[in-house]
Structure 1
Amino acid sequence: MFRVATLNAYDKVINTLQKRQQDLVEAQQQLTSGKRVLHASDDPVAAARAERARALQQRSEANQRAVDASKNSMTLTESALGDAGELLQQARELVVAAGNASYSDAQRQDVAKQLAEIRKQLMSVANRGNGAGGFVFSGQGTSQPPFLDAPGGVAYTGTGGQVEVASDEQLPLTFDGRQVWMGARTGNGVFETRNLGSSSAWIDAGRVTDPAQITGSTYSVSFSVVGGVTTYSVFQDGNPTALSGQPYTSGQAITIDGMSFAVNGTPADADAFEITPSAVGLSVFDALDRVVNALKTPNQTPTQVTQAVQTGLRDVDQSLGQLQSSRSLAGETLNRIEGVQARVTDLKLFAKTTESDAEDLDETQAISDFANQQTGYQVALQTYATLQKMSLFQYINS
C-alpha cells in the first residue's frame, strides 16, 4: 500500500508554486526588457549569434566613424583645391594681360603686385587647417604649416605620402601636399623649351607630334648669322643632327623626333635655345615667382616680355592642370566614400537585424505566455490553499 504523507504533498506543491513563480518572474522580465534571451544559458546558440552580431555592429560603427572622418577631410581638400584653382585662373588672366604690347613697365609692375597677392592667398590655401589641429595638405603629418615661405623659395616641411583611415576600407585622411603643389611636370609635360639668353627671339612651349618618336634626349638649337642670313642647327646630346644649317623663318615650326616648337623674332648670332625632357617638380609658387620677377624687371625688350609671358603661361597651365587633377581625385574619393557609406550602413542594418532575430522577443507570443504563466501561478496558489485545508487536524477542528 502506497502512502502519501501530508508533508510530502506540501513539499511538492511548494516546489511547483516556486517554479511557477520563477517562470512568471522570467516572463515578466522578458516583457519588460523586450528580450527573449536575457542570459546565455537561456539559449546558448542564439546568445552566440547575438554576440557575433554585436561585434559586427561595433566594427561597422568604427568603420562609419573612419569613413565620416575621411569624408570631412576630402570635402575640405576638394574645397581648398577649388579655391586654389580659381586663384590660379585669376593669375593666368593677369599673365595674359601682362603680354599686352602697349603696357608700360609701371603697368607690368602693377600686374606683378597683383600676382604676388594671389601667391599669398595660394600660400594660405596650401597651409589650410583641417579643423582638428592638422593641415589639409600635411601628407603623413606635421605639427607646423606644411609650406614654409623661405628666401630661396617655398619649402615643403611635411612628410610625403598620405594618411589613411584605420578601417576595412582604404580611404585617405590627407593629401600629399608636395605632390599637389610641387608635383607638376615642367615644360609642356613631355619636354621643356628654354631660352638660353636671347633678348631678340623667344621660343614657345612646343607640342608633341608623335609620342612614339620621343627619345628623352636633350636638344639644343644654335643660330648663326652670316652676311645677314640666319640659319640654325639642332644638336642631340651635343651631337649634330640632320637639321644643320637650316634657313630660319620666324614662327616656322622646327620638328625633330616627335617634337615641334617654334622660335619667333630675330635671333642674334650664337643665340641658343634648349629642349630638355620634362621632369616632376614644378612648384605653383616657383612658377608665379618667376613670372612676377620677370614682370618687375624694367627696361625689357618686347621679346623678353613675350618670352616671360609665354613661359609663365606654360608653367601656370601645368600647375593648374596638376591642381585640377588633384581636385578630380578628391572628387572621385568622395564618390567612392558614398559607396562605402552605403555598404557600411547595410552592414550595420544586417548586424542589427541578426541581433534582433537572435534575442528579441515576440511580444504577441510573450504576452500570451505571460498570461498562461499568471494562470498557472494562480492555480498553484489555489492548489496550495486547498492542500492546507486537507490536514486531519483542520478536519477535527471543523
Structure 2
Amino acid sequence: MRIATLTAHQSSVNSLQERKRRLNEAQEHLDSQKRVLRASDDPVAAAQAERARARAALSESQQRAVNASRAAMNQADSALGNVTELLTQVRETLVGAGNGIHSDAERAVTAQQLQSLRDQLLALANSDDGAGNFLFGGQGSSTPPFTDGAAGVVFHGTAGSQTTATEGLPLSLDGQSAWLRAPDGNGFFKATNANSTTASSDGGRVTDPSTFFAQTAPTTTYQVQFSVVGGVTTYTVSKDGAAMGPAQTWTGSGSGAKSIEFDGMSLGIGGTPADGDTFDVRMSQPSQSIFDTLDRAIAELKTTGRTNAQVSQTLGDALTGLTASENALSGLRSRVGLALNRADAAEDRSADLKLQAEDQRSVAEDLDPVQAIADLQLQKTNYEMALQTYAAVQKLSLFNYIGG
C-alpha cells in the first residue's frame, strides 16, 4: 500500500493538534482543580455534582429560614421577658393597694400607676421585628394586631402563626390566646361576687381533682347564697339550680376567709355576708384578657365611696385574673424557648446536609492533584513526541531529497 507524503503530513498535523488539545485540557483541569469542567468530561459525575449542588442550595435556603425564625423568636423572648417584669410590677401594685387604710385619693393614684403599666403591656403586645412583621400578630397583620377602643383591647390579626415552609419553625406567634383568651378564674372555675358589698370571695381552688372532674361538666354552674334570719347566717349551695343539701350555718366573719367546700372545690368567703348575698361559680372559659382585668381594676379603684369588702373583691379578682394571664404568657414564652431549641436542631441538620452535599460534589467533580500532575506530564511528553514526529515528516518530500 502506498502512503502519500501529503497523507503522512496531514496525519502528523492532526496528531499534533490532538496532543495539544489534551495538553491544554490537562492544564485547564489542573488550574481549576476540577476533574469535571463540563458534562462531556464525565456525564454521570456531572449529573451527580449537579444534584449535590442542588442539595447544598436547599440547605442554604433552609438555613436562611432558620435564621429568620431564630431572630423573630429571640425578639419575642425579649419582649415576653419585659412583659414578665411589668406583670411583677402590676402584682406588687395591686397587693400594695390592699391596705385597708388607703383613701380614695390614694387608690386613684394606684389606678394611674396601673394605667401606665397597662399601656406599656399593650405596646409590648404590638411588638414588631423591625421589618413591619408583628411578633404576636398570628398568621400576619399589616397593622398593629391589638387595638384599644371603647370596648377594650381587640385582636385584629389572624389566629395561628406564620411558619417556615420546610421545618415549620414559627416566624410569628398567636398572641390572641395568651393576651386575650387565657383560661379565666383559677384555670378550673371562676367565682363571681354577684351582689355583696360586705363580703368577698377569693379565686377558689380544686381540693379533690378526682371528685371535681367526675362531678362537673363545662356547663356546670354553682351558686352560694346567704340568708340572715334572727341574727343567724346560713348559706345554701346550689348546683345547676338545685340545692345540694340543707342550709348550713355560717360561722365565719371579719377579714379572715372561711372555706365552703363542694364537689372537690373550695371557695373562700371573707367579710360578713348579708342576707341575699350571692356568689356564682362556673367552669373556666378561655376569655381572660390581661387588659380587661386591668381595666376593671383601674375603673373600680377610681370609684369613690367603696367599702373595704368591695375593694378587697376588686383586688382579689384582679390578682386571680393576673395569675391566669401570667400563666398563659409564661406558657407562650416556653413555646418560644422550644422553638429556639428546634431552630438549633434544624440548623445542625441543615449544616449536615450541606456538608454531605459538598462531599458528594467533591467526590464527583474535584481533581486528584497527584493524578492531575502525572496526567499533565504525560500529555506534555506526548505533545513533545508529536512535535518531533511532525518535524521528521516535514523532511519527507521530493524537494528535500533533490536538495539533499
Q: What TM bracket, shorter-length normalisation?
A: over 0.9
Query: 2:271: which partner in 1?
Result: 265
Offset, 1:252: 2.3
Q: Are the counterparts in 2 of residues 49 and 355 from structure 1 also a CA contact under 8 Å?
A: yes
Query: 2:224: which partner in 1?
Result: 221
Q: Are the counterparts in 2 of residues 136 and 175 from structure 1 also a CA contact under 8 Å?
A: yes
- For residues 304-319 of structure 1, the aligned pairs below 5 Å read 304-319=310-325
CA separation in 1, counterparts of 2:258 and 2:125? 41
- For residues 81-92 of structure 1, the aligned pairs below 5 Å read 81-92=80-91
Pairing partner for 2:360 from 348, 354, 379: 354
Deviations 1:343-386 (A, max 9, x none): 10110111111111100111222122112211211111111011
After superposition, the CA RMSD in angstroms is: 1.2
Aligned residues: 396
- For residues 70-219 of structure 1, the aligned pairs below 5 Å read 70-167=69-166, 169-214=167-212, 215-216=216-217, 217-219=220-222
Offset, 1:245: 3.5
Moved more, 241-250 or 325-334: 241-250
Deviations 1:74-103 (A, max 9, x none): 111111111111111110110000001222
CA separation in 2, counterparts of 1:44 and 1:299? 91
Amino acid at match of 1:221: V
Gaps of 5+ in 1: none
Query: 1:230: which partner in 2?
Result: 233
- 2:301 maps to 1:278: no
Moved more, 98-107 or 273-282: 98-107
CA separation in 2, counterparts of 1:243 and 1:350? 77
Query: 1:334: which partner in 2?
Result: 340
TM-score between the two structures when normalised by the length of structure 1: 0.97
Q: Are the counterparts in 1 of residues 91 and 319 from structure 2 also a CA contact under 8 Å?
A: yes
Structure 1 residues 336 and 258, CA, compared in 2 at 3 Å: closer, same or farther? same
Pairing partner for 2:245 from 242, 246, 255: 242
Three-state SS of the structure 2 residue aligned to 1:276 is strand
Query: 2:379: which partner in 1?
Result: 373
CA separation in 2, counterparts of 1:26 and 1:179? 66
CA separation in 1, counterparts of 2:238 and 2:68? 55
Offset, 1:118: 0.5
CA separation in 2, counterparts of 1:218 and 1:111? 34
Amino acid at match of 1:267: P
TM-score between the two structures when normalised by the length of structure 2: 0.96
Amino acid at match of 2:171: L
Query: 1:298: which partner in 2?
Result: 304
Moved more, 322-331 or 207-216: 207-216
Query: 2:393: which partner in 1?
Result: 387
Query: 1:344: which partner in 2?
Result: 350
CA separation in 2, counterparts of 1:171 and 1:87? 28
Offset, 1:29: 1.6
Three-state SS of the structure 2 residue aligned to 1:253 is strand
Structure 1 residues 80 and 257, CA, compared in 2 at 3 Å: closer, same or farther? same
Amino acid at match of 1:177: G
- 2:253 maps to 1:254: no
Offset, 1:243: 5.0
Gaps of 5+ in 2: none
Q: Are the counterparts in 2 of residues 89 and 320 from structure 1 also a CA contact under 8 Å?
A: no
Offset, 1:183: 2.0
- Runs of 4+ displaced beyond 6 Å: none
Offset, 1:249: 2.1
Query: 1:55: which partner in 2?
Result: 54
Three-state SS of the structure 1 residue aligned to 2:260 is strand
Q: Are the counterparts in 2 of residues 23 and 373 from structure 1 also a CA contact under 8 Å?
A: yes
Offset, 1:180: 2.0
Three-state SS of the structure 2 residue aligned to 1:232 is strand
Deviations 1:219-248 (A, max 9, x none): 000101011110000000110112524434
Q: Are the counterparts in 2 of residues 233 and 246 from structure 1 also a CA contact under 8 Å?
A: no
- 2:328 maps to 1:322: yes
Offset, 1:152: 1.2
Query: 1:26: which partner in 2?
Result: 25
Q: Are the counterparts in 1 of residues 202 and 267 from structure 2 also a CA contact under 8 Å?
A: yes
CA separation in 2, counterparts of 1:180 and 1:247? 39
Q: Are the counterparts in 1 of residues 161 and 174 from structure 2 also a CA contact under 8 Å?
A: yes
Three-state SS of the structure 2 residue aligned to 1:292 is helix
CA separation in 2, counterparts of 1:350 and 1:316? 51
Q: Are the counterparts in 2 of residues 231 and 246 from structure 1 also a CA contact under 8 Å?
A: yes
Amino acid at match of 1:223: F
